[in-house]
């Protein structure tokens, strides 16, 4: 078994695709409209679906926004340099909601950004030990 994807419901698919591809650097892997069901699915990620876990962005045509609830946490992305990633994300118009720095009570450098629908994405700086494990 392996994890295939995580699905997020988005209110504006084009805005979300711009964020995930232009700001976070993911690739649009596939996109399909389901007219009978009035929804569109778009899959984005850092590699092909055969080898990596990806994000499924679901846009229900008649719904412009969602309440995120209090059970959802975040998506995590490994980065080489969280400080640099935050600067680049801000320069591209992204919303950094927790600047890069050591996590509370630890040494791992993390940051948080928010997508256009309010979903949190944690950036985790990978040190040499983490890269080699």
Catalytic entry in 14, 67, 122, 128? 122
User: Strands 75-79 and 120-125, how do they pair?
Assistant: parallel
Active site residue 122: yes
CA dihedral (13, 49, 89, 126) positive or negative:
positive
CB 112 within 8 A of CB 123: yes
Strands 95-102 and 109-114: antiparallel
Catalytic residues: 122
């Amino acid at each position: 078994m392996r994890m295939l994807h995580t699905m997020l419901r988005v209110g504006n698919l084009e805005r979300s695709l711009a964020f995930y591809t232009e700001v976070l650097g993911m690739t649009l892997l596939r996109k399909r409209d389901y007219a009978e069901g009035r929804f569109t699915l778009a899959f984005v990620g850092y590699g092909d679906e055969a080898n990596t876990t990806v994000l499924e962005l679901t846009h229900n045509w008649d719904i412009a926004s969602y309440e995120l609830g209090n059970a959802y946490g975040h998506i995590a992305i490994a980065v080489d340099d969280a400080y640099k990633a935050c600067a680049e994300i801000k320069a591209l118009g992204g919303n950094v909601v927790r600047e890069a720095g050591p996590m509370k009570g630890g040494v791992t450098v993390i940051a948080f950004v928010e997508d256009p629908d309010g979903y949190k994405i944690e950036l985790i700086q990978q040190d040499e030990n983490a890269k080699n494990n």
